[in-house]
Structure formats: C-alpha cells, structure tokens
Amino acid sequence: MKTADDLKRAAGFAAVDRYVRTGMCIGLGTGSTAHWAIVRTGERVAAGEQIAAVATSGVTERLCRELGIPLVLFGDREIDVAIDGADEVAADFSLTKGGGGALFREKAVAIAAGTFVVIVTPEKLVDRLGAFPTPVEVVPYSLPYVRRRIAATFGVEPAVRGGAASPFVTDNGNPILDCAFGPLSDPAARDAELRAIHGVVATGLFWGLTDAVIVADPEGVRELAR
C-alpha cells in the first residue's frame, strides 16, 4: 500500500528524470511534493551531473544547500526547466498555488522557465479552480485597504493567513490574504482584477504557464494531455 508521501516522491522523481539533463539550470519549487524533486536533483548532483538550481523559497534554498545542489540567483542564468507542486490543477492546466506561501517566487520562476512542469497527486486535479482559497500576497502597508477592496468587489471576506494578530509573512516580508472565491470561470480575469488593486504583489492563480503535469497515483505515474 503506497502512502501519500510515496506518491509525491514518485511524481518528483519522475519529473526530474524525464525533464532534467546535465548542464541545465533548473527552478525548484516549494512544498511537500517539490521536496522530492529537490531530493532527486541532489542525488543526481551527487552522482556527478552538472545541475544548478534557482530556489523558490528559503526552505528550498536550505535543502539545496544541504544536498550540495549549486544555487544560482534568480535572473543570473536562463532557467531551462522549473518543477513545482500545486494546490489545484484545472483541465486547462491553470493552477492555484501558494498554499506554502511561496507564490511570488514560484510564479517568477515559472514565468522565466523554458518549460514549467507541475507535479501532483490526483486529489489536486479539479474541473475548475477556486475550491482552494486563492492566496493573494500584499504589501503590509496596504493590507487593510486590499482586504476591504476584495470584500467590496468580490463579496468574500479574505482571511489573513496566520490571523490578524500574528500574520504569516512570506520570504518577501509580506502577508497573505486567502480568498475563498468558490469556482472561478476565468482565473486569468480574476488574477488581473486582483492585481489591479494597488498593494497586491501577486496572486496564486497561475495561467498560461504550465507545459506539463505529472500525476502520481497508486497505479503509477502519468503525464496529462491537455
């Protein structure tokens, strides 16, 4: 009987083995599934392959250092392939991300990468995004303003991640508003509407970025066709 962690490991290992070649610079995501892509990259570096990485969070950076994976600053090299998990994957390959709070850097790396590969277990596959609350990263000064604008515009009360008394803070020093919109018919439009609110840094809605989705379930590892 395979555990949830076995499946995440299978997805992470498959992505690295299918998409990463020696000589590449890769983007490494954040979270419990991306963890296994980092571990597999570390094994291949230890075996002598020349693979450099851009990390999408402090957690990922620390694991890369522990495993001896050479790190590159974002923007210093072209990123050939980025590999990351997701909180939701829709049929059109749009995503909700940011459950781990790394959405800004994850999106930066996904945009910059030549190929963006998403690794998930089957419960992440959805018809429409939106059951998972959309994370919205906000400049601290603007938090009350953005919260009110989102409530007034979309009729949902955003939750400050971690609670208003001691908010969770991203690697960029910003709080996150989790917005329970429900099913989103047009994630790209919602992303644009949110980013038009002054003070929004980034949203966890990723659209038009995903090139491949690798799913690990108890029957094996498969790659989704769009």
Q: Catalytic residue positions? A: 106
20, 51, 103, 109: which one binds ligand 5RP (CB under 6 A): 103
Question: Which of 34, 79, 202, 214 is close enough to bind ligand 5RP by CB under 6 A?
Answer: 34
Q: Out of 12, 42, 101, 158, which residue is the one contacting ligand 5RP (CB under 6 A)? A: 101
**Residue choice 98, 133, 158, 175 for contact with ligand 5RP (CB under 6 A):** 98
Closest CA to 185 of 121, 94, 69: 94
Is residue 210 involved in binding ligand 5RP (CB under 6 A)? no
State the distance between the two ends of the chain, measured CA to CA, in whole angstroms.
30
Say how many C-beta atoms besides its own lie within 10 A of residue 120's C-beta: 24
Nearer to ligand 5RP, 86 or 194 (CB): 86
Residue 163, C-beta contacts closer than 8 angstroms, at least 6 positions apart: none
Among 12, 42, 100, 187, binds ligand 5RP (CB under 6 A): 100
Q: Which one of the spans 58-66, 95-103, 164-172, 175-183 is the region binding ligand 5RP (CB under 6 A)?
A: 95-103
Spatial distance between the Cα atoms of 72 and 85, rounded to a whole number of angstroms = 20
Shortest Cβ distance from residue 124 to ligand 5RP (Å)? 7
Candidate segments 82-90, 109-117, 181-189, 214-222, binder of ligand 5RP by CB under 6 A:
82-90
Angle at 32 between CA 26 and CA 33, to 5 degrees: 55
- Per rule CB under 6 A, is residue 88 in the interface with ligand 5RP? no
From candidates 61, 80, 106, 178, binder to ligand 5RP by CB under 6 A: 106
Strand partners for 178: 135, 159
Smaller CB separation from ligand 5RP, 39 or 151: 39
Coil, helix or strand for 113?
coil
The whole-angstrom separation of Cα 53 and Cα 117 is 15
Tokens of 55: 């990390």
Find the angle CA(103)-CA(105)-CA(106) to the nearest 5 degrees.
60
Closest approach, Cβ 220 to ligand 5RP, in A, equals 19
Our CB check for ligand 5RP shows the closer of 98 and 130 to be: 98
Q: Are 161 and 102 in contact (CB under 8 A)?
A: no
Question: What residues make contact with ligand 5RP under the rule CB under 6 A?
Answer: 29-34, 84-87, 97-103, 106
